[in-house]
Amino acid sequence: MKTTETPPPAVRQGGDRGPDQAAHAGAGRSGRQPGGEGAALNVFSHGVLVIWAIMVVLPLLWAVMTSFKTDDAILSSPWSLPDGLHLENWGRAWNQAHMSDYFLNTIIVVGGSLVGTLVLGSMAAYVLARFEFPGNRFVYYLFLGGNSFPIMLALVPLFYVMSNLSLLNTLHGLILVYIAYSLPFTVFFLTAFFRTLPSSVAEAALIDGASHSRTFFQVMLPMARPGLISVGIFNFLGQWNQYMLPTVLNTEPETKVLSQGLVELATSQGYKGDWSGLFAGLVMAMLPVLGAYIVFQRQVVSGLTAGALK
């Protein structure tokens, strides 16, 4: 999911029960309809599910396998197994093809913009959720509107705004833009979240003499942790995978980020014909997120379907 997308809102969420338990039922069906429909459906449903699983996994496995092959082997037969682990492909991609630079740039940009998005997003959301003031609704809907407008329309003038501010092709400029385009969903999600928190704790803190900002940082933010984690995962993946914003606003080779750098690599390597190095770079970019997803599966799924939890 990308930073700039509208999240899919509104699903009724009945907890993350597995379908097995959830769908269990004890009524005596077997007496009326023995075998028949059930058996056929069972075979059929397994059939289609397995086919789609293969269609999803096979291209990924193919890329991993290809990244260990020599160029000759790639070009002669796409499905042959590698004749050895050609790890030099990975070394070439990491050093000569600047994958290490792209990784570093991406870590800097995503690190900065993720922290910025969460801090600024929760500040705005808290004020919009818990305080009445003239213009509250207007500001809220202004943020909300950013979810559904086509970003491309804004990017043309934005390019020149950035250019005038000397922010074009800089990492800090990219960080600011990532934050700005992540705010609509972050504010939308966290506003809903802050509304669900009990107000008694904050009131108690205020009565005890804490200032509004101290109450926010020391009382409300810790209470909002689950919401921050969900929206943080959502934004992390969106910003890590971001392609359109850097493609338009960040065209210097030294400041390129991962997905954009990889595409650049494909264009230039295409002429050089270093297919194996390119596949190594591709897999290198894929594996960290896939690995993190497998480890933190439950959190990632709930983070990405965050809008659905509303």
Q: Which stretch binds another protein (CB under 8 A): 9-17, 87-95, 96-104, 218-226?
A: 9-17
E strand map for the chain: none
CA distances from 26 to 22, 30, 31, 36, 45 (A): 12, 10, 12, 19, 22
Q: Which of 109, 187, 220, 224 binds another protein (CB under 8 A)?
A: 187
Distance in Å, CB of 258 to another protein, minimum: 7
Q: Which of 82, 108, 144, 159 binds another protein (CB under 8 A)?
A: 159
Distance in Å, CB of 197 to another protein, minimum: 16
Q: Which stretch binds another protein (CB under 8 A): 90-98, 193-201, 219-227, 297-305?
A: 297-305
Phi-psi category of residue 36: left, alpha or beta, with phi > 0 → left and psi -120 to 50 → alpha: left
Interface pattern 188-217 for another protein (x via CB under 8 A): ---------------x--x----xxx--x-
The number of residues that bind another protein (CB under 8 A) is: 125
Helix (H/G/I), strand (E/B), else coil: 283: helix
Helix (H/G/I), strand (E/B), else coil: 119: helix
When asked if residue 295 is in the footprint of another protein (CB under 8 A), the reply is: no
Q: Which stretch binds another protein (CB under 8 A): 96-104, 107-115, 158-166, 224-232?
A: 158-166
Scan for tokens 């160029």, then name that residue. 71
CA distances from 90 to 98, 101, 253 (A): 11, 14, 20
**Residue nearer to another protein on the CB measure, 156 or 222:** 156
Q: Which stretch binds another protein (CB under 8 A): 89-97, 180-188, 193-201, 221-229?
A: 180-188
State which of positions 80-119 bind another protein (CB under 8 A).
none
Q: Which of 111, 221, 247, 268 binds another protein (CB under 8 A)?
A: 247
Which amino acid does the sequence have at 114?
L
* Residue 120: Cβ-neighbour burial (10 angstroms; 0-12, 13-18, 19+): middle
State which of positions 11-50 bind another protein (CB under 8 A).
11-20, 22-30, 37-39, 41-42, 44-46, 48-49
Q: Yes or no: say if 233 and 304 are a contact pair by the CB < 8 Å rule.
A: yes
Q: Yes or no: say if 177 and 155 are a contact pair by the CB < 8 Å rule.
A: no
Interface pattern 223-242 for another protein (x via CB under 8 A): --------------x--xxx
State which of positions 120-149 bind another protein (CB under 8 A).
120-121, 123-124, 126-127, 131, 133, 139, 142-143, 146, 148-149
Distance in Å, CB of 88 to another protein, minimum: 20
Alpha helices by DSSP H, 165-257: 171-196, 200-207, 212-215, 221-223, 225-240, 244-249
CB contact set of 262 (below 8 Å; sequence gap of 6+): 99, 102, 281, 282, 285
* Residue 106: Cβ-neighbour burial (10 angstroms; 0-12, 13-18, 19+): buried
**Residue nearer to another protein on the CB measure, 92 or 181:** 181
Distance in Å, CB of 216 to another protein, minimum: 8
Distance in Å, CB of 103 to another protein, minimum: 13
**Residue nearer to another protein on the CB measure, 80 or 100:** 80
State which of positions 258-277 bind another protein (CB under 8 A).
258-260, 262-263, 266, 275
Q: Yes or no: say if 185 and 10 are a contact pair by the CB < 8 Å rule.
A: no
